[in-house]
Protein backbone atom coordinates (compact mmCIF):
# COMPACT_ATOMS: atom_id res chain seq x y z
CA UNK A 1 0.00 0.00 0.00
CA UNK A 2 1.24 3.46 -0.79
CA UNK A 3 1.69 5.58 2.28
CA UNK A 4 -0.05 8.95 2.41
CA UNK A 5 2.12 11.66 3.95
CA UNK A 6 1.63 15.36 4.48
CA UNK A 7 3.83 17.34 2.13
CA UNK A 8 4.38 21.06 2.00
CA UNK A 9 2.14 21.34 -1.05
CA UNK A 10 -0.46 18.81 0.05
CA UNK A 11 -0.71 15.07 0.39
CA UNK A 12 2.02 12.94 -1.10
CA UNK A 13 1.88 9.25 -1.88
CA UNK A 14 4.96 7.27 -0.99
CA UNK A 15 6.00 3.97 -2.50
CA UNK A 16 6.86 1.81 0.48
CA UNK A 17 9.31 -0.26 -1.53
CA UNK A 18 11.70 2.43 -2.77
CA UNK A 19 10.53 5.36 -0.65
CA UNK A 20 9.94 7.80 -3.51
CA UNK A 21 7.01 10.16 -3.16
CA UNK A 22 4.44 11.20 -5.73
CA UNK A 23 1.87 13.96 -5.96
CA UNK A 24 -0.78 11.52 -7.19
CA UNK A 25 -1.91 8.23 -5.72
CA UNK A 26 -1.95 6.72 -9.18
CA UNK A 27 1.76 7.32 -9.69
CA UNK A 28 2.59 6.06 -6.22
CA UNK A 29 0.69 2.87 -6.89
CA UNK A 30 2.35 2.43 -10.28
CA UNK A 31 5.76 2.82 -8.69
CA UNK A 32 5.00 0.40 -5.90
CA UNK A 33 3.58 -2.17 -8.30
CA UNK A 34 6.70 -1.89 -10.45
CA UNK A 35 9.12 -1.98 -7.53
CA UNK A 36 7.40 -4.99 -6.00
CA UNK A 37 7.43 -6.94 -9.22
CA UNK A 38 10.82 -5.96 -10.63
CA UNK A 39 12.86 -5.08 -7.52
CA UNK A 40 14.12 -2.05 -9.38
CA UNK A 41 12.93 1.39 -10.36
CA UNK A 42 11.37 2.40 -13.67
CA UNK A 43 12.81 5.68 -14.96
CA UNK A 44 9.53 6.60 -16.64
CA UNK A 45 7.86 6.39 -13.25
CA UNK A 46 10.49 7.88 -10.98
CA UNK A 47 10.90 10.96 -13.14
CA UNK A 48 7.45 11.91 -11.84
CA UNK A 49 8.58 11.60 -8.23
CA UNK A 50 8.50 14.58 -5.90
CA UNK A 51 12.06 15.39 -4.93
CA UNK A 52 11.57 17.84 -2.08
CA UNK A 53 13.47 15.68 0.39
CA UNK A 54 16.59 15.15 -1.70
CA UNK A 55 19.42 17.19 -0.18
CA UNK A 56 20.85 19.88 -2.46
CA UNK A 57 24.27 18.29 -2.26
CA UNK A 58 23.10 15.27 -4.25
ZN1 LIG B 1 8.89 2.54 -5.87
| Percent of the chain whose pLDDT exceeds 90 | 66
Helix ranges restricted to H, 1-58: 25-38, 43-46
- Residue 11 and residue 5 in contact, taking contact as beta carbons nearer than 8 Å: yes
* 28 Cα: distance to centroid of ligand 1 (angstroms): 7
Mean pLDDT of the chain: 88
Q: What is the distance between the alpha carbons of residues 56 and 28, in angstroms, rounded to a whole number?
A: 23
CA of 55 from ligand 1 middle (Å) equals 19
Dist. CA 44 → ligand 1 center (Å): 12
- Report if pTM > 0.85: no
Amino acid sequence: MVKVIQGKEGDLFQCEVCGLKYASREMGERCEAWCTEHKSCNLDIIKSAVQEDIPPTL
